Amino acid sequence: MLLDDLKLLPLFRGSAIVLGGDMAFTVAKRLRFYIGQLKPKLRVVIQTPHEPIDQRALNFIIPNFNDKINKWLDRDAICGVLTAVDPNQLTYLCAITGSITEITLPAMPSAVTELLVQLGYA
């Protein structure tokens, strides 16, 4: 179940998770929606690595160079790395334990999937 998978992520104020993969921004927006359902009072910020980490929110950091995403594990306050395999599948690598968790999001509506294919993102 999706909510059980999301509980394995560090969903608390001040944590920072790096997102990578071709669909990183789409997955970040979808995760923000599902996290809002799980924890309605938690604010989620999607940002670049050049912005400071907001200690009052959960931070999703999307670097410009997704192919070199593992170097972000060495930064302070990074809890882990999410890699978007496709719009519905992602893997989470915990920076503390090194464990890998696979998360499956509910399928996107077919109209959105067709639009992403036309734009060349899927």
pTM of structure: 0.78
| Tokens coding 111 | 């109209």
Residue closest to 14 by CA, chosen among 48, 47, 59, 51: 59
Whole-Å CA distances, 95 to 49, 67, 120: 17, 18, 32
Domain regions of the chain by residue span: 2-119
Q: What is the pLDDT of residue 51?
A: 84
* Unique residue bearing structure tokens 């998770």: 17
- Mean pLDDT computed over 72-98: 80
Choice between 70 and 118, residue whose per-residue pLDDT is larger: 118
Given a cut of 60, is residue 70 above it in pLDDT?
A: no
Q: What is the pLDDT of residue 57?
A: 94
- What percent of the chain stands above pLDDT 90? 14
The CATH class that applies to domain 2-119 reads alpha beta
Look over the chain and give the mean of its residue pLDDT values, rounded to a whole number.
81
Given a cut of 90, is residue 10 above it in pLDDT?
A: no
Choice between 84 and 57, residue whose per-residue pLDDT is larger: 57
pLDDT one-digit tens code per residue, 14-51: 899 988 887 888 889 889 988 998 899 999 999 888 78
